[in-house]
A and B are shown apart, each in its own frame.
Chain A
Amino acid sequence: MKFGLFYELSVPRPWTRESERTVYDNALEQVKLADELGFDQVWAVEHHFLEEYSHCPAPELFLTACAMLTKRIRVGFGIVVCVPEFNHPIKIAERTAVLDILSGGRVEVGTGRSATWTELAGFNASPDVTKKSWDEFVRCLPRMWTSEKFEFEGEFWSMPRRTILPKVYQRPHPPMWVAVTSPGTELDAADRGLGSLGLTFGQFAEQEKRIAEYRRRIQLCEPVGEFVNDQVSTVNFLYCHEDDAVALKTGRQMANHFNYLAAQLMSVRETYPSKSYPSLGLLPQLRRQATGPESSEQAGEGLCLGGPERVTRALKRWEACGVDRVNFLINTAETIPQAEVLASLRLFAREVMPAFNGSKA
Chain B
Amino acid sequence: MPLFGELELGTITRDLPKMRDLDTEAWELPKAEILQLACEVADGSRVLLPRALHPAIPEYVTFVVTRYPESPVGAFDLAQVRLMARAGVHPRGYVLGAVASTAAATSALRERWGYPVVPGEIGLRRYHDRVAASVRRDGQTILELALVDPEIVSGGDLQYIHGITLARLDGAAQLIQVDPHYTLHTAARGRAHVSRFEAAAWNGAPIVLTTPISASVSTSDTDLPRIRFVMDPETPVVRGTRKVR
Contacts and interface: CB of A to CB of B under 8 A. Distances in A.
Interface of A: 12-13, 49-52, 117-118, 121, 259-261, 263-266, 269-275, 278, 286-287, 290-293, 295
27 contacts: A13-B2, A13-B3, A49-B57, A51-B3, A52-B1, A117-B213, A118-B57, A118-B58, A121-B211, A121-B213, A261-B2, A264-B89, A265-B57, A266-B56, A266-B57, A266-B91, A270-B159, A271-B38, A271-B213, A273-B157, A273-B159, A273-B189, A274-B189, A286-B89, A287-B90, A291-B238, A292-B236
Specify which of B38, B187, B238 lies most central, judged by the most chain A CB atoms within 10 Å of its CB: B238
B213 A272 contact: yes
Contacts of B153: 273, 275
Contacts of B238: 291-293, 295
Given A264-B57, A270-B159, A287-B89, A292 B239 contact: yes
B80 interface: no
A27 B110 CA distance: 52
Contact of B157 (A265, A270, A278, A287): A278
B219 to A, nearest CB: 15
B239 A270 contact: no
Interface residues of B, number: 31
B244 to A, nearest CB: 20
Contacts of A291: 238
Interface of B: 1-3, 38, 40, 54, 56-58, 60, 86, 88-91, 153-154, 156-159, 161, 187, 189, 211, 213-214, 216, 236, 238-239
A288 to B, nearest CB: 9
B89 A274 contact: no
A275 B58 contact: no
A274 B91 contact: no
A77 B67 CA distance: 49
Nearest to B156: A278
B96 to A, nearest CB: 18
